[in-house]
RNA sequence: GCGGAGGUCGCGUAGCCUGGUCAAUCGCGCGAGGCUUAGGACCUCGUCCCGAAGGGGUUCGUGGGUUCAAAUCCCACCCUCCGCACCA
């Protein structure tokens, strides 16, 4: 019959339509039911939603569906993220004709050429993806209340009013301050350059460089270094003879630095007046004096000096800096250069490294040692990089200054460094500034540097009171998996003030600062509250102009009198009360699930902002995070082609198969791995489950209600309990696996075990199973539910009751399973495929009696055991008793609690009775005649003959005679 | 460097907190048999090594230790992955 064919696309569309029509997921406040509000961090609309998003989303969807079935009134809304520079960035790149961007859009996202042309308009781009993604998400089938959908930024005036209100509140309550803030800066774009805006230099951020001054004819040659403490080992100063340098007045003092340095100094709050420019070679050969130590050293030429890095001036410590050492050696050998700059070769060759630090590992001249060890030939050898870092690490952590370091002698390097820095600052012999340790190039091709932004509006994350409140919120929250809690503590403590205004990209204007928008991470922190409002903005009952500060104050915080607020906002007082009621009903968020990447930023902000704005009872209740999806073992990477969109996956595998493929692949913080082959297999698995359940529904066996039905019912209860527990603990993979495979295996065993299945017991089990399957594979489960002749929706049907499990029937089956396994093992050892006769001989009654008593005592005590045995063994031969004693002691030693339970119950029920009852099963299983006996029923001599040297029967371990 | 996760029988994983029926879960793959006109699906068994009786041997990143007993507890080491900021 074509009925049994599983066509996922048909089934999925069918039920999505039904859910839509019946408004199953449209949630309204209902005081008679507890609420459960789940949220997902809205995805960014700069591209298609991918499987990684789907994974995180699915975990949440499962909880939403499960909670609904448990009687909760579940709200699961959705929105789309437009704020920030990613969308405008793509548009910019297309406008510039960036090939790579266009290629990715065309090949990976499947955007038609003519659409790409229109992507020059960022709004068009955002709308395009929002449409596409909404469609893909709907085809995937989520338990979402779509009436509340919105997107962010000023392009959505309703949402913007909300963000503005949020910032007015933050400012009013003192969470906003003004200050300075360093950023990686592109001088051409006049904006900060985040990682994703960079052509090269990802992950590079400002580090402190120290400036060390050398007196030169009424001016200062200013060198930059990470290691100011090494000034005691200086032998010379390097400049690049071909670079351009400048003399300039810096905060009133004359400095000589590379011309590139001037902009950097100016951008770090220094007043810069350029006096003149000149070539670096003019400096060569001059003598300079270290202000800090008074060392007089020559200025020498070096090609490795990069005028764009630091100040373009480097002081040379050949003993402790392999680069300096090598450059000096090169120079000593290079007659031509010496001649060119008129340097005295003898004088240069007499320069010796000055040791000023020692370590156990490298001694006091590590440069020389490492250059020799690594076989470094000249100053352009890339291995110098490695040598430098080896020396730096070792000396910084384990080095001690030598006696030539004045007041800083005999100190650990770390300590000396700290003191030298302090002293230089005090005396003006040195200074410091921020610099990028390696080059960063903006997408526009310009080299970036550090700029300190002044008069920045900052969120005061450094404020101890705010941190304390956030930590308190965290304490009351449930966090899954639990390891992540520590991360939150770390990040809450670690955060410093955060600059939240921007001048580029999409977003909401800062209410008090025209021309500036609220940065993306900062505007998306408490927006879950807006879902209550957005429903009415979408249906036209509220207009953006109604959404004033007073409006939100009343609806979200309960401040003000409805009638007065109504007058000011134009919203009827009754409606305001209704809104207030709705907010109060739904808030706070009960569960927010996201990828682990958001812990460090968004989720921490989420906590911070909630505690700042809302009273304690509205603080978030639970956060759960999961790993990052990999594709065929590789991290997702669009430009490398490692990327699967949700749309493609759903088209190819359907929603249900996609769901379980994602869910079964990881737990906790592990990174799930998507394997397409597995997804295909999972379609087969679903087809198989579909067919299996249909066949079970078709069974027409008599109603019996014997042991096996009892067993089946209790197995079902166990599965219900397991799935429920796993779901409550956000162990979604465990839950999925248990729901998919657990009951399937139970039903298989049941069918194997009985001659004719009990149709009623089967039907009960199938019903429970479908309920358990629903959260994970909703469409398939719903389809089968209707095939069962049910009139209601499975989505609305209550979750099975988590009932007390009666272990007894389960114990009996465990005993039998063990017996079957033993039989198979013997067959294997005998290399036999089949058998003619199977005889099961259970232990003699006296053994059973003795054993019962021994297990009761629950301890391994040879004396006591022997005593008990002797009591029961009247008339038993000494040898037989001894042998049995050995067996008993051995099995007692390794007996687990479960095994004890099994034995106890088997003995209680009578082992032979159990076997008698299971005899037809054994006959069916092994296709042979089966006989069940007790040792008591076989004459002693006969028994010896039958058993041979095999160990005698033990309670729970009958002799198996195979012929 | 700082912080976090992890290394289990071909692959992906469970077990580890609370040590003992743990040669170790489940799924995939693979092999055998059954079913079937055939294929697929489905069902059963097997899948570290040895074994003519349910047993024995060697395993859970490496090396030590604690214990009657260790995948599980302790110590050291090796390796892999992730995050480290103004940016989604």
Give the pLDDT confidence score for residue A825 in this predicted structure.
85
**Distance in Å, residue A856 CA to nucleotide B53 C1':** 31
The count of other CB atoms within 10 Å of the CB of residue A484 is 18
Determine contact, residues A173/A553, Cβ cutoff 8 Å. no
**pLDDT (tens digit per residue) in A66-108:** 999 999 999 999 999 999 888 998 998 899 888 888 988 988 8
By C-alpha to C1' distance, B26 is nearest to: A737
| Complex ipTM | 0.88
**Nucleotide closest to A840 measured between CA and C1':** B54
For residue A3, the model assigns a pLDDT of: 47
Q: How far is the CA of A389 from the C1' of B8 (A)?
A: 37
* Contact status, residue A519 vs residue A540, Cβ threshold 8 Å: no
Q: What is the pTM of this model?
A: 0.85
Closest CA to A387 of A396, A398, A376: A376
A71 and A620 Cβ atoms separated by less than 8 Å: no
Q: DSSP for A277-300?
A: EEEGGGGTT-EEEETTT--EEEEE
Protein-to-nucleotide distance from the CA of A891 to the C1' of B70, whole angstroms: 20
Q: A423: Cβ–Cβ under 8 A, 6 or more apart, which residues?
A: A292, A429
**CB atoms inside a 10 Å sphere around CB A282:** 13
**pLDDT at residue A384, as a whole number:** 79
Q: A134 — phi, psi (to 5°)?
A: -60, -45
Indicate the angle between helix axes A366-374 and A322-333, nearest 10 degrees. Answer: 80
- pLDDT 10s digits, A675-704: 888 888 888 888 888 988 988 888 888 888
The Cα angle at residue A802 between residues A776 and A706, in degrees rounded to 5:
105
Nucleotide nearest to A665 (CA to C1'): B12
DSSP code per residue over A163-180 = HHHHHHHHHHTT-EEEEE
- Would you call A487 exposed, middle or buried from its count of C-beta atoms within 10 A (0-12, 13-18, 19+)? middle
Nucleotide nearest to A506 (CA to C1'): B88
How far: A46 CA to B53 C1' (Å)?
68
Using CB atoms within 10 Å of the CB of residue A815, give its burial: 0 to 12 exposed, 13 to 18 middle, 19+ buried: buried
Place of tokens 């050995």: A886
- Which single residue has its CA nearest the C1' atom of nucleotide B53? A826
Q: Which nucleotide is nearest to A519 (CA to C1')?
A: B86
* Å separating the CA of residue A323 from the C1' of nucleotide B55: 69
Q: What is the pLDDT of residue A2?
A: 41
Looking up tokens 């063994």, which residue turns up? Answer: A873
**Widest Cα–Cα separation across chain A:** 120
- What pLDDT score was predicted for residue A508? 94
Q: pLDDT of A607-650, one tens digit each?
A: 999 999 999 999 999 998 888 888 887 778 787 778 889 999 99
Residue A447, phi then psi, degrees to nearest 5: -75, 130
Q: Which positions of chain B lie under 7 Å from any protein Cβ?
A: 3-6, 12-14, 20-22, 26-29, 41-46, 51-55, 81-88
Nucleotide nearest to A669 (CA to C1'): B5
Pairing mode, strands A287-290 and A296-301: antiparallel
Residue nearest to nucleotide B50 (CA to C1'): A829
Helix intervals (H) in A517-675: 520-523, 530-538, 549-557, 562-569, 573-586, 604-613, 646-663
SS3 A5: coil
pLDDT at position A862 is: 66
- How much is the pLDDT for A486? 81
| C-alpha pair distances (Å), A457 with each of A191, A263, A498, A507, A606 | 16, 24, 8, 16, 19
Residue A610 CA to residue A606 CA, distance in Å, equals 6
pLDDT beneath 50, residues of chain A: 1-3
Look at residue A5 in the predicted model and tell me its pLDDT.
67
Structure tokens at A565: 């607020």
């Amino acid at each position: 019959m074509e009925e049994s064919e599983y066509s996922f696309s048909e089934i999925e569309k069918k039920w999505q339509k039904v859910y839509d029509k019946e408004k199953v997921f449209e949630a309204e406040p209902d005081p008679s039911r507890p609420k459960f509000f789940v949220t997902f961090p809205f995805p960014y609309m700069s591209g298609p939603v991918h499987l990684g998003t789907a994974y995180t989303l699915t975990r949440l969807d499962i909880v939403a569906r499960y909670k609904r079935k448990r009687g909760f009134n579940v709200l699961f809304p959705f929105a789309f993220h437009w704020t920030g520079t990613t969308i405008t960035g793509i548009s910019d790149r297309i406008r510039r004709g960036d090939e790579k961007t266009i290629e990715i859009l065309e090949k990976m996202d499947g955007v038609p050429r003519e659409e790409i042309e229109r992507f020059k308009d960022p709004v068009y781009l955002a709308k395009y993806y929002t449409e596409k993604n909404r469609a893909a998400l709907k085809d995937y089938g989520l338990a979402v209340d779509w009436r509340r959908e919105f997107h962010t930024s000023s392009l959505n005036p309703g949402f913007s009013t909300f963000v503005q209100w949020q910032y007015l509140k933050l400012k009013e309550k003192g969470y906003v301050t003004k200050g300075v803030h360093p950023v990686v800066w592109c001088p051409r774009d006049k904006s900060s350059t985040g990682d994703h805006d960079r052509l090269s230099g990802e992950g590079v951020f400002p580090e402190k460089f120290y400036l060390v001054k050398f007196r030169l004819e009424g001016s200062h040659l200013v060198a930059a270094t990470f290691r100011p403490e090494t000034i005691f080992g200086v032998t010379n100063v390097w400049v690049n003879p071909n670079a351009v340098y400048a003399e300039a007045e810096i905060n009133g003092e004359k400095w000589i630095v590379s011309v590139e340095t001037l902009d950097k100094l100016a951008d770090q709050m220094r007043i810069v007046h350029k006096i003149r420019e000149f070539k670096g070679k003019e400096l060569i050969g001059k003598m300079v004096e270290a202000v800090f130590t008074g060392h007089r050293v020559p200025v020498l030429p070096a090609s490795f000096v990069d005028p764009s890095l630091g100040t373009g001036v480097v002081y040379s410590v050949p003993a402790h800096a392999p680069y300096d050492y090598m450059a000096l050696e090169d120079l000593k050998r290079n007659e031509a250069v010496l001649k060119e700059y008129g340097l005295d070769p003898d004088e240069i060759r007499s320069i010796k490294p000055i040791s000023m630090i020692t370590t156990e590992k490298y001694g006091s001249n590590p440069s020389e040692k490492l250059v020799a060890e690594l076989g470094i030939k000249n100053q352009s050898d890339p291995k110098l990089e490695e040598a430098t870092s080896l020396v730096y690490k070792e000396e910084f952590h384990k080095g001690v200054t030598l006696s030539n370091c004045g007041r800083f002698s005999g100190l650990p390097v770390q300590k000396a460094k700290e003191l030298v820095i302090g002293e230089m600052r005090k005396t003006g012999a040195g200074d410091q500034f921020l610099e990028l340790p390696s080059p960063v190039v903006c997408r526009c091709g310009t080299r970036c540097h550090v700029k300190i932004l002044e008069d920045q509006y900052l969120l005061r994350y450094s404020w101890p009171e705010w941190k304390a409140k956030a930590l308190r919120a965290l304490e009351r929250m449930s966090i899954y998996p639990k390891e992540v809690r520590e991360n939150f503590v770390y990040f809450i403590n670690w955060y410093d003030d955060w600059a939240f205004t921007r001048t580029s990209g999409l977003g909401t204007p800062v209410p008090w600062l025209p021309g500036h928008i609220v940065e993306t991470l900062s505007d998306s922190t408490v927006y879950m509250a807006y879902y209550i409002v957005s429903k009415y903005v979408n249906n036209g009952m509220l207009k953006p102009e109604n959404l004033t500060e007073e409006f939100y104050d009343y609806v979200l915080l309960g401040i003000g009198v409805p009638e007065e607020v109504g007058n000011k906002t134009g919203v009827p007082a009754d409606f305001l009360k209704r809104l207030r009621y709705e907010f109060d009903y739904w808030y706070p968020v009960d569960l927010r699930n996201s990828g682990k990447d958001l812990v460090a930023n968004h989720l921490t902000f989420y906590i911070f902002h909630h505690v700042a704005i809302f009273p304690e009872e509205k603080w978030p209740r639970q956060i759960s995070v999961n790993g990052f999806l990999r594709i065929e073992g590789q991290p997702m990477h669009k430009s490398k082609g490692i990327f699967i969109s949700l749309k493609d996956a759903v088209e190819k595998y359907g929603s249900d198969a996609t769901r379980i493929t994602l869910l079964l692949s990881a737990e906790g913080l592990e990174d799930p791995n998507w394997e397409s082959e597995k997804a295909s297999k999972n379609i087969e698995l679903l087809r198989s489950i579909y067919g299996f359940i249909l066949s079970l529904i078709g069974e027409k066996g008599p109603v019996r209600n014997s042991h096996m039905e009892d067993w089946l019912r209790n197995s079902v209860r166990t599965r219900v309990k397991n799935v429920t527990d796993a779901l409550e603990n956000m162990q979604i993979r465990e839950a999925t696996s248990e729901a998919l495979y657990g009951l399937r295996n139970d039903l298989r065993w049941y069918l194997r075990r009985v001659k004719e299945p009990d149709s009623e017991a089967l039907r009960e089990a199938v019903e429970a199973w479908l309920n358990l399957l629903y959260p994970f594979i909703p469409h398939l489960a719903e389809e089968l539910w209707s095939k069962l002749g049910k009139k209601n929706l499975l989505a609305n049907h209550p979750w099975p009751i988590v009932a007390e499990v009666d272990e007894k029937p389960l114990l009996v089956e465990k005993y039998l399973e063990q017996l079957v396994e033993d039989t198979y093992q013997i067959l294997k050892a005998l290399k036999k495929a089949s058998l003619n006769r199977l005889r099961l001989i259970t232990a003699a009654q006296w053994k059973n009696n003795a054993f019962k008593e021994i297990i009761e005592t629950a301890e391994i005590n040879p004396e006591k055991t022997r005593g008990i045995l002797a009591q029961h063994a009247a008339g038993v031969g000494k040898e037989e008793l001894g042998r049995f004693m050995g067996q008993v002691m051995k099995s007692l030693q390794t007996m687990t609690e479960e095994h004890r339970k099994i034995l106890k119950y088997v003995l209680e029920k009578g082992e032979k009775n159990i076997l008698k009852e299971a005899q037809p099963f054994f006959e069916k299983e092994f296709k042979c005649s089966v006989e069940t006996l007790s040792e008591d029923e076989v004459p002693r001599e006969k028994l010896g003959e039958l058993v041979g040297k095999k160990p005698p029967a033990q309670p729970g371990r009958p002799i198996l005679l195979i012929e």
